[in-house]
Chain A
Amino acid sequence: MRQTSATELAKMGKCERQVYLDHHHGEDTSLTATFIKRGNHEHEQFNRQLSGKDKRCFIATAIFGIDAIETNILREFRDVHLIPYSPGRMITSLYYSISPYIVNVIERYPVLKIPIRAALRWFIRSWR
């Protein structure tokens, strides 16, 4: 009996002919290469989230971008001034539970980005 991977066996649920043809003629992934690349990238993100290497900062990410300077400054603020202390961790946990909803509202009404961006920039300036 030969070793079979879960991914190979799963193909049986799609198309048995494909299983046969892939085995005898080789698998050509050129048509699905873009999907595979995007999928791999998103798998990595999912993995990072679960492993605690998640660089979450939902609102700042929605406003400035995932790796913007402002977002990183706010992450630094969280890691230095909030996470080490119990009340800070509480605030962070509260923030993480409500911020996805705020981000949804921001995405629905992009005009809100203007005052939030100004408020976050003011906060960053006054903290630094």
Chain B
Amino acid sequence: MSFLIVVVILYWWLRSRRKPKLSPYMLEQFLKITDPIPLCGKPDVVWKTRDGTLIVGDYKSRENQQVYESEVIQLSVYKLLVERTQNKPVADYGFIHFKNRNMKKVYLMKEKEIIALYHRYWNVIGGEVVAFAADNKNYCRYCSHKHKCS
């Protein structure tokens, strides 16, 4: 019995000394780049793995674990910002953290795709291309432009 207690205590002692799989590397730090495109943002968290790879994470204050396209875009931009400012390897996936302490792994967009989206963004604003309406009509419920939008 006492041997078992010693083993349990030893296990918890070793566990408490062990380096965590993920430790916070950066919290809500504003990042800005101009190359390849001018982007900025403030990732909620950047994790560091035991092997030194950085992983971007974003917190969502909801329990529903569905991941939306806009969140993948946001995380992908964060990944590009971290990659260009930290000179450390960055994982091609990120984490979405939910209110109930769950997290979901999300594969991110490639740099080329972000650059293309950036150009489309400014083309939409300039009225040079037809702007698509939301696929998900739930977005329209809380949109302040719902009366103007046909």
Contacts and interface: CB of A to CB of B under 8 A. Distances in A.
Interface of A: 1-25, 27-32, 35, 38-39, 42-43, 46-47, 50-51, 86-87, 89-90, 93-94, 100
A9 B77 contact: yes
Contacts of B101: 100
Nearest to A51: B27
B133 A50 contact: no
A93 B125 CA distance: 52
Contact of A27 (B43, B121, B131, B144): B144
Interface of B: 9, 12-13, 15-16, 24, 27-28, 32, 37-45, 59, 61, 68-74, 77-78, 81, 97, 99, 101, 114, 117-118, 120-122, 124-125, 127, 131-134, 136, 139-140, 142-145, 148-149
Nearest to B61: A42
Do most interface residues of chain B lie in helix, strand or loop, or is the interface mixed?
Answer: mixed
Given A2-B38, A32-B142, A42-B59, 17 more contacts: A3-B38, A6-B77, A9-B118, A10-B71, A12-B120, A13-B69, A16-B124, A18-B139, A18-B149, A19-B125, A20-B124, A20-B125, A21-B148, A25-B148, A46-B45, A47-B28, A87-B9
Contacts, number: 143
Nearest to B23: A50
Contact of A90 (B13, B44, B140): B13
Nearest to A27: B144
Contacts of B78: 6
B145 A18 contact: yes
Contact of A93 (B16, B32, B38, B122): B16
A8 B73 CA distance: 10
Contact of B121 (A4, A14, A28): A4
Nearest to A46: B59
Contacts of B40: 3-6
Nearest to A11: B70
14 contacts: A2-B122, A4-B39, A6-B40, A9-B117, A13-B69, A13-B71, A15-B133, A15-B143, A20-B124, A21-B149, A32-B142, A87-B9, A89-B16, A90-B16
A117 to B, nearest CB: 24
B13 A86 contact: yes
B41 A7 contact: yes
B28 A31 contact: no
